Amino acid sequence: MKCPRCASTDDKVLESRQNKDGSSIRRRRQCLNCGYRFTSYEKIEEKPIIVIKKDGSEQPFDLRKVERGIRVSTEKLRISAETIDRLLNAVEDEVQEMAGHERRITSRDIGEATLRQLYKVSKVAYVRFAAVYREFNDLDKFIAEIENIASSVSS
Ligand SMILES: [Zn+2]
């Protein structure tokens, strides 16, 4: 598969992971030329998960967007690629579960799922993601959200 960074087609598969119901396989790959890690997906053609955005518009779920958000918020935090992989797996499982048979989920639910998982890994990454993801108009609301998630994580 072509490396998104250097376009080399030499890569190795680091990990393959099937989702819970066996309908898709995600592979973590590493470019043998430049070392870049990326993800590929294999899916049975099925009803995609539809994301309902805040403005009511709909689009197919794309885990790569979550991955980008996580990358941005974990930058320079010395979080291992393995930890980020586990985090992504956990978010994907939550999204699959929440979308259920209807195969529909709101973008807010995806954001919350990502925040829940990020919180367990790094508080700094959590705050960064939250800042990017939400429009907080006051600090109290922001802190209340953090406490809310903190208590649901520890319970
Ligand atoms: Zn490469």
**Residue-by-residue DSSP string for 102-145:** TTEEEHHHHHHHHHHHHHHH-HHHHHHHHHHHS---SHHHHHHH
**Ligand 1 geometric centre to CA of 11 (Å):** 8
Quote the pLDDT of residue 147. Answer: 56
pTM above 0.75, yes or no: no
**Ligand 1 geometric centre to CA of 31 (Å):** 5
**Ligand 1 geometric centre to CA of 1 (Å):** 10
Quote the pLDDT of residue 138. Answer: 45
**Ligand 1 geometric centre to CA of 133 (Å):** 29
Listed as ranges, residues in the chain with pLDDT below 70 are: 44-46, 132-155
Say which residue the tokens 């959200």 belong to: 145
- C-alpha 132/C-alpha 19 separation (Å) is 28
**Ligand 1 geometric centre to CA of 113 (Å):** 30
Quote the pLDDT of residue 18. Answer: 86
Cα–Cα–Cα angle for 145, 146, 150, rounded to 5 degrees: 120
Give residue limits of the domains in the chain: 1-45, 47-154
Quote the pLDDT of residue 69. Answer: 79
Quote the pLDDT of residue 137. Answer: 42
**Ligand 1 geometric centre to CA of 34 (Å):** 4
**Ligand 1 geometric centre to CA of 54 (Å):** 36
Quote the pLDDT of residue 155. Answer: 47
**Ligand 1 geometric centre to CA of 38 (Å):** 9
